[in-house]
Structure 1
Amino acid sequence: MKNNYMKTLVVACVATFASIGFQNNTVEAITKSPVVKEDNLQELGQQFGLNTEHIEQVNNRPDNWVYIQEMLQNPNQPKVAAKKSSKPEIKKKEKKKPAVTISNKEKDLFARLVEAEAKGESYEGKIAVATVVLNRVDSPDFPDTVTGVIKQVVGNTYAFSPVQNGEINKPASNESKRAVEVALTREDRLNDSIYFYNPKIAEDEWIRTRTVVKTIGDHVFAK
């Protein structure tokens, strides 16, 4: 046990000198010095500034004597690796940045429309309604802002019934707010759908002639 400790002590000295750039002959002089008495260990440690953690790392290696020989042959390249954590690295999930940026006031109006139009629909359905609004902003056939699309007047009425009947003035749910945030990333444009309707209550026959893209809950999305 004592012999093993002294071997480890020698390696620690070598590693210490190698890390500060001493010449090979200095290292060789240390490794050839007779270390035979226990009483010399503390003195040697103080003289060469031994690193306790370094000693423990070397001593725990199953091939520590082979490792010592390698260190003595090539002292300029210390080989004790840093301890690796046993805990798996946890990567933080990055929040996706919106592709479209709008003011908080406009975002609130947007979320209130989604709430009024898709209340009772699934989260996916709410995202789809918000996507239709953004697709209209991109379309040359509609106003080029979210507010303009929501408050667009067609004939003698508003394009969205909640604006007409005042339902849009009610606060939005957290789910509708999140749906707006997801829609703003523009990852799924719903095949550029610019219309949605409930086939059970839709009175406009023209809307039924549009090409259907997807049905989510009670809403049909078309372009």
Structure 2
Amino acid sequence: MRKQLLSGLAALGMLAFTTSAVSAEGTHTVKKGESLWEIGKEHSVPVLQLMEVNGLKSHEIHPGQAISLPEAEVSDAEKDLLAKLVEAEAKGESYAGKVAVATVVLNRVDSNEFPDSIKDVIYEVANGHYAFSPVQNGEIDNTPSDESRKAVDEALAFRGQGQGSLFFYNPDTSSSSWITSTDTTLTIGNHVFAK
């Protein structure tokens, strides 16, 4: 029943990773002024995973330090699909709103309540209804902006942190009484994020 009401919604279930696999890329040498956040975005890996693989207790890193890179769990095709969804769902929203929409999808992937891949979350159909309206109306096939692509990279680096939002909706256009009864985690622009 809930799935019927979720057309146009996404999920954000933030969970920490426990894998310690190192990527084929191997290591990254820290440059002056660089942060774990920047390294995570550049390599599409969560900062928490970078910390775990490298046994770091804080975000402190130093120039010249070799950082082991965990395997990226998201393919380029999945990143592209997620950027297309972000563009369709959050066009006209702020950059932070775009990152939050991408984070919702990643949280759904990490949640036991939803499918286990970005593609399956985006194309999920329950009771004859798509979870995201851009899949139904074809906007998912549009080319994403550079900003939407950057928002996906940032959401991937942010993965495992945050308020655990599983849904988002526009209160001005939503007709679902169920979604408005969920616990609001934050509001960004025209979207309310909830769990």
TM-score (norm 2): 0.65
Cα distance in 1 for partners of 2:120, 2:99 equals 19
The 1:195–1:169 alpha-carbon spacing in structure 2 relative to 1, beyond 3 Å, is: same
**Alpha-carbon distance in 2 for matches of 1:221, 1:120:** 17
**C-alpha distance in structure 2 between counterparts of 1:169 and 1:200, whole Å:** 25
* 1:183 partnered with 2:126: no
Render the CA deviation track for 1:151-209: whole Å, top value 9, x for unaligned.
Answer: 10021121000001000100000000000000001357431100000000001110000
Alignment correspondent of 1:111: 83
* 2:139 is the alignment partner of 1:167: yes
Q: Is the 8 A contact 1:131 1:190 kept in 2?
A: no
Q: CA 1:187–1:103 in 2, change beyond 3 Å: closer, same or farther?
A: closer
Gaps of 5+ in 2: 1-30, 47-71
Does residue 153 (structure 1) correspond to residue 153 (structure 2)? The answer is no
SS of 1:134's partner is helix
Query: Which residue is equivalent to 1:93?
Result: 34
Please list the CA deviations of residues 114-144 of structure 1 after superposition, one character each: whole Å capped at 9, or x if unmatched: 0000000000000000000011011100001
Matched residues, number? 134
1:192 equivalent in alignment to 2:164: yes
Distance 1:164 1:189, change over 3 A: farther
* Corresponding residue for residue 124 of structure 1: 96
Higher strand content, 1 or 2: 2
Which consecutive unaligned segments of at least 5 residues does structure 1 have?
1-89
2:114 is the counterpart of 1:142:
yes
Structure 1 pair 114–164 and aligned structure 2 pair: CA distance change class (3 A): same
- Letter of the aligned partner of 1:96 in structure 2? I
Residue 219, structure 1, aligned to residue 160, structure 2: no
Equivalent residue letter for 2:172: K
Greater C-alpha Rg: 1
Query: Secondary structure at 1:108's aligned position in 2?
Result: helix
Cα distance in 2 for partners of 1:187, 1:141 equals 17
| Identical residues among aligned pairs (%) | 53
Contact 2:79 2:152 in 1 (8 A): yes
SS in 2 for 1:196: strand
Distance 2:106 2:186 in 1: 17
Q: How do 1:4-43 and structure 2 match up within 5 A?
A: none
Partner of 1:117, secondary structure, is helix
Contact 1:136 1:142 (8 Å CA) reproduced = yes
Aligned 8 A contact 1:131 1:189 in 2: no
TM-score scaled by length of structure 1: 0.57
Deviation at 1:106, TM superposition (A): 1.2
In structure 2, what residue type is equivalent to 1:141?
E
1:206 and 2:178 matched: yes
